Amino acid sequence: MAVSSGEGKTAGQEDPVRRESARQRAGEQGLLFDEQPAALPGDIGYRGPTACAAAGITYRQLDYWARTGLVEPTIRAAQGSGSQRLYSFRDILVLKVVKRLLDTGVSLQQIRTAVQHLRDRGVADLAQITLMSDGVSVYECTSADEVIDLLQGGQGVFGIALGRVWREVEGSLAELPGERAAVEDTVPADHPADELARRRRARRIV
């Protein structure tokens, strides 16, 4: 798994014709996203059906990924029968990225590693990242040069500009219902996995 800057440099990166062609491809695919999107309020949560609609996934996928810890809701986890998960904007962004990586043929094991890497990045950082995949590995690019190097050297390389996905999710959610989370529902942003793990353990004890 290669989720790091600078991976994928190629021997042909000095060829000006190939480099210009790769730059044009990157521009056409929207992979050179350099605008900083505006963040949505952190206390707004979205229920499962809304998260599915915005991310383009099925409820079965959403439920499975939550139960297996791939993408868990960071605002409110399910707490017994009748309770509703609440997903944050960032959660839905990651859901959409997972869906796109799956569509390229990347395995769930590789995606889990990529998702863990994204969890370690701040929300602002995510908008400046482009993920590239050849269907086997996932590469993180934080500069236009890295994107272009991969495009000009890789065969069938697929790119995901997180800033562009951010805009897509933002547009989708503008037409869908959200709800303000109660104070007791909000999971601390710095340790979402720890809090969810504690809740799961508490339910097992009961």
How far, in Å, CA of 168 to CA of 160, rounded? 12
The DSSP letter of residue 130 is E
The pLDDT profile of the chain, 206 residues, written as one tens digit per residue, is 455 433 444 444 467 777 777 777 766 566 666 666 666 666 789 999 999 999 999 999 999 999 999 999 989 887 665 568 899 998 999 999 999 989 888 888 889 988 888 888 766 677 778 888 887 888 888 888 888 787 777 666 788 888 888 888 988 888 888 887 765 554 444 444 444 444 444 444 43
Q: Scan for tokens 């499975």, then name that residue.
A: 64
Q: How many CB atoms lie within 10 A of CB 175?
A: 9
DSSP element (H, E) containing 124: helix 123-126
